[in-house]
Chain A
Amino acid sequence: MAEPVISVAGLRKSYGELEAVRGIDLEVAPGEIFAFLGPNGAGKTTTVEILEGYRRRNAGEAMVLGADPAHAGREWRERIGIVLQESKMHPELTVRESLELFAGYYRSPREVANTIDLTGLAEKAEDRVGRLSGGQQRRLDVALALIGDPELLFLDEPTTGFDPSARRRAWEVVASLRDLGKTVFLTTHYMEEAQALADRVAIIAQGQIVAAGSPDELAGRTGAAARISFRLPAGVAGSDLPEQLAASVGNGEVRLAADDPVPVLYELTSWALERRIPLAGLEVRRPSLEDVYLELTADGPDGEGEQ
């Protein structure tokens, strides 16, 4: 594997008593779209802002493009592009002028007109930024992050608050970055977004990575445990069930988890037919990715703003 673009080991960050990031390890390879997925308050923005050089870590190692972001300078900034979670431009400048302004900050910027086309803003090029819709402003944010022709892009929740069609258009822009050979570090709290865009996903909850892998691997992980549930009629106890099923019983509802549900169902239904016991509400279900994500991140603070 080529030298990683980002490598992080044992990263920690506290704000007073609050431990926002509690020992994170991750690596991002060149050309990869990496999604950092988690609920609000999980530590996503803190982590990405440490990697962008905005915040100082308390402990651990962080290398981004071969430099420690805490001490990286102008040369390093030439090579990265940042889309912040929240940042406006001068409402008085046009889209084109905004890009011309930022292009001037870099030694070898991308062409302004080309970048406007890439982000789908050609029709809005001469409009003042203050008159753009939320989705168009977000695409301008991406255009501004791209204008320096960076190797690595950070996108912090690029589609939060978008309607579904604006989200799809933003995804097309991000997907086009892959074709440009850029490495992308994306944070999101939408499972769907990570699935649609990312080569690899790390799920973060309460400051720790709880699962990582390609979207397919994470999906495979969910396939590992099908859930079977049904209700026993009155007079039949959970202890009457075949022992090897290892069922959990609560309030007359029986739950089973099975890597391969076929033999389990065979055994269960044979037992029920023999004894003429009805299995009311019998259900076999594979949890969706959404379920797995919700399960993994269940204990996090809900709806809290990030620091």
Chain B
Amino acid sequence: MSGVSLALHQFRFDQKTFWRNPASVFFTVMLPVIFLLIFATIFGNDRLEELGGVKTTTYYVPAIITLAVVSATMQSLAISLTVDRESGLLKRTRGTPLPSRVFIAGRIGNSIVVSVLMLIILAALGRVLYGVEIPWERIPAVLVTLSVGAAAFSCLGIAITAAIPSADAAAPVTNVAVLPLYFLSGVFIPESEIPSGVLQVADVFPIRHFFEAFFTAWDPSTAGAGFEWGHLAVVGVWGLAGVVIAVRTFRWTPRA
């Protein structure tokens, strides 16, 4: 088999394990949907005057897509790779002719497909339940933003595994990494409510830039194509840092 068909083979089975694992389905697929419903219900049809009068529901659709993509890529990969490392599955796979880059490509492919699916689900729910427009004219910007983000956060997810000592620690460690940033970056709380000093802290990290890029692409008041190249560049640099760390520190064998 060629590299590509081998990666597709790996991807096919990664999909099976993903959808059959209740924890991955709940945290990656269900939880973002629940978040969207909760935030939209609490804040209803308020408008955020400081943000050009955008409806809160319109604000939360790209916000929760941001969360869903980070969850499907960084968190999902960090947890599944750590669990598979500690169970010896990575070591076993390493003992077969499957090239490691093909194995990793299959896993990242899995995360990207789930990310695209979440984008579709959340966009459709926003449209049907809350009348949030789907930005058809800015779809190229939406897809580019999604691609850059999914790739970068996948790399960060692989990089972070080196800092996770055990399978049990995987979920807590990734949550400690992302949950505060969701609050600081305007994903959970509209950024108009957040002090500027806090936003400056959040600006160091990639989640806020990823969200800014998504928000611009989704916001109906955006003029033009909606590409936020500056924000995407920051996300991309974080992704590259992830690649460098992953290449240097990734382990295929369990601790102990």
Contact residues of A with B, CB < 8 Å? 52-54, 74-75, 77-78, 80, 82, 84, 86-90, 92-93, 97, 100-102, 104-107, 128, 144, 148, 305
Contacts and interface: CB of A to CB of B under 8 A. Distances in A.
Among B6, B89, B91, B96, chain A packs the most CB atoms within 10 A around the CB of B96
8 contacts: A54-B91, A84-B91, A90-B17, A92-B16, A93-B17, A106-B96, A128-B20, A305-B256
Contact of A54 (B89, B93, B95, B99): B95
B95 A82 contact: yes
Contacts of A54: 91, 94-95, 253
A78 B1 CA distance: 13
Contact of A107 (B88, B92, B97): B97
Given A97-B16, A101-B13, A52 B99 contact: no
B17 A86 contact: no
B98 interface: yes
A292 B6 CA distance: 50
Interface in B3-46: 6, 9-10, 13, 16-17, 20-21
A100 B13 CA distance: 9
Contacts of B97: 74-75, 77-78, 105-107, 148
B118 to A, nearest CB: 20
B166 interface: no
Interface of B: 1, 6, 9-10, 13, 16-17, 20-21, 84, 87-89, 91-99, 253-254, 256
A200 B233 CA distance: 62
Contact of B6 (A52, A82, A93, A104): A104
A267 to B, nearest CB: 57
A92 B83 CA distance: 13
B143 to A, nearest CB: 30
B103 to A, nearest CB: 9
B98 A105 contact: yes
A106 to B, nearest CB: 6
